[in-house]
Amino acid sequence: MIPHQAADRVLAEVSAATDEIVALTGDLIRLPTVNPPGAGYRECARLIGARLGVMGMDVAYVDDVGRPEHSERHPRVNVIGLLEGTQSRPCVHLSGHFDVVPPREDWTEDPFGGLVRDGRIYGRGASDMKSGIAAAVIAVDAIRRAGVSLRGTVEISGTVDEESGGFAGVAYLCEQGHIAADRTDYVIIPEPFGPDRICVGHRGVYWFYVIAHGYAAHGSMPHLGRSAIDDMAELLMAMRAELDPVMAQRLSTMSIVPEASGRPSLNVNAVSGGQAGELQQSPCVADTCRATFDRRFIPEESLEDVRAEIAQIVSALEAKGNGCRFTIEDRMIVHPTRTPEESPLVRALSSAVSAVRGSPPQLVGSPGTYDQKHVARIGGVVHCVAYGPCPLTEAHQPDESCAIEDLVASAQVMALTVLELVG
């Protein structure tokens, strides 16, 4: 339990730092760390590192020299700050990615301006998730300013490439032992779920190709060939007809938001076949067609079963005897993750949310994946959640923004949580 006085002092320090949280969020937004290609990472890592240094943290920069994404033009640079108390454990690590998706043309505000208006800050990353990084930094600094000394360790990292899978970011930090079960007890990822929600895991991903194999012929005599595009069309219909009703029967107990994502889903990301994209067309029957499928699965489904269902639909179509032929190739697999129900991290965060917001949080699951997969699978740290300002729906949207009130509230919650776990 945290002594009341210490908690009150820390909360007051966060509120007093409101302008600083907004300013830091704005400074981060004004660095266009757009991914792809992964621009401005070194500058952004330095900006965060300098801020962490000011608050007395030991700062280390981690360049991913061995990875293919790392180049001289677009270096992959992560930053970690460490503040050790009287002992090294327990250790709580707050980790936010500072890469952002490119803004499209539908913005009415400057995506890299960091404009503040009517209690909100605008810009790419205002929600996902430069605001979360700023809130985490100020949360930890508020503890120092309140004069509370730490028992354990607190770390903050700013990482790259989450939007493209996080392999050069959090995955790399886990591989290199910076986030690992033998030194890290708890990880909070300030992704935008809003100050009243704690995200305790995400669905899995099975990305795969199906390739239809046809037979080329002159387009004026299609009966002499076999159109791979026609076969793919039939397969797409079969997938919907067979899978949709089955998936509609399954509902995760993880309270995934939005509600419709509580069930598994299937999206066709791309279809290409024949002479797609070529300026000059010749009359040919398409001999191949490839579709990219994105099947999201809930923790209650196993990857083996998900795979078998797909293979079954494909082979049933082949078995009809009309000569169609397909092959399936895996492209990417991410297993679902779920924080243990009795996690001390969830307990500490929940009581902090209750204290700051006046009512307990909603525990939710995420429809898409985020860095928790790497923390849990590579780092082996199971006590990991996402908690950060702004509703998820703002992420990747035009005129992305975050309410300043949210920023402060989530920083207060993070500060109380760190205090409870390592204070």
Task: Catalog residues that contact Zn ion under the rule CB under 5 A.
Answer: 128-129, 191
Minimum distance from CB of 129 to Zn ion (Å)? 4
Burial classification of residue 271, based on how many CB atoms lie within 10 Å of its CB (0-12 exposed, 13-18 middle, 19 or more buried): middle
Nearer CB in complex with Zn ion: 133/210: 133
Nearer CB in complex with Zn ion: 375/416: 375
Minimum distance from CB of 286 to Zn ion (Å)? 38
Nearer CB in complex with Zn ion: 146/386: 386
Contact 139, 415 (CB under 8 A): yes
Minimum distance from CB of 40 to Zn ion (Å)? 17
Nearest to 400 by CA among 389, 415, 385: 389
Minimum distance from CB of 303 to Zn ion (Å)? 24
Nearer CB in complex with Zn ion: 128/161: 128
Minimum distance from CB of 47 to Zn ion (Å)? 18
Contacts of 216-220 spanning 24+ positions with Cβ under 8 A: 216/284, 216/285, 216/286, 216/287, 217/284, 217/285, 218/283, 218/284, 218/285, 219/282, 219/283, 219/284, 219/285, 220/283
Give the other-Cβ count within 10 Å of 384's Cβ.
27
Nearest to 349 by CA among 405, 417, 404, 299: 417
Minimum distance from CB of 341 to Zn ion (Å)? 25
| Cross-strand partners of 198 | 363
Minimum distance from CB of 97 to Zn ion (Å)? 6
Minimum distance from CB of 137 to Zn ion (Å)? 16
Nearer CB in complex with Zn ion: 128/400: 128
Alpha carbon separation from 127 to 70, 80, 103, 342 (Å, rounded): 26, 21, 13, 29
Nearest to 412 by CA among 22, 16, 148: 16
**What tokens were used for 112?**
């890299």
Minimum distance from CB of 343 to Zn ion (Å)? 21
Q: Which residues lie closer than 8 Å to 28 by C-beta, 6 or more apart?
A: 44, 47, 48, 98, 125, 130, 133, 134
Nearest to 330 by CA among 204, 165, 166, 210: 210
Compute the C-alpha angle 318/320/325, nearest 5°.
Answer: 20
**What tokens were used for 162?**
């989450």
Nearer CB in complex with Zn ion: 187/289: 187
Minimum distance from CB of 127 to Zn ion (Å)? 8
**What tokens were used for 413?**
């919650």
DSSP helix/strand/coil, 55: coil
Nearer CB in complex with Zn ion: 109/128: 128
Nearer CB in complex with Zn ion: 34/314: 34
- Report the C-alpha gap between 78 and 291 in whole angstroms: 35
- Residue 23 one-letter amino acid: A
Print burial letters for 172-205: b (CB count within 10 Å at least 16), e (below 16): bbbbeebbbeebbbbbbbbbbbbbbbbbbbbbbb
In the bound complex, which residue of the shown chain has the CB atom lying closest to Zn ion? 128
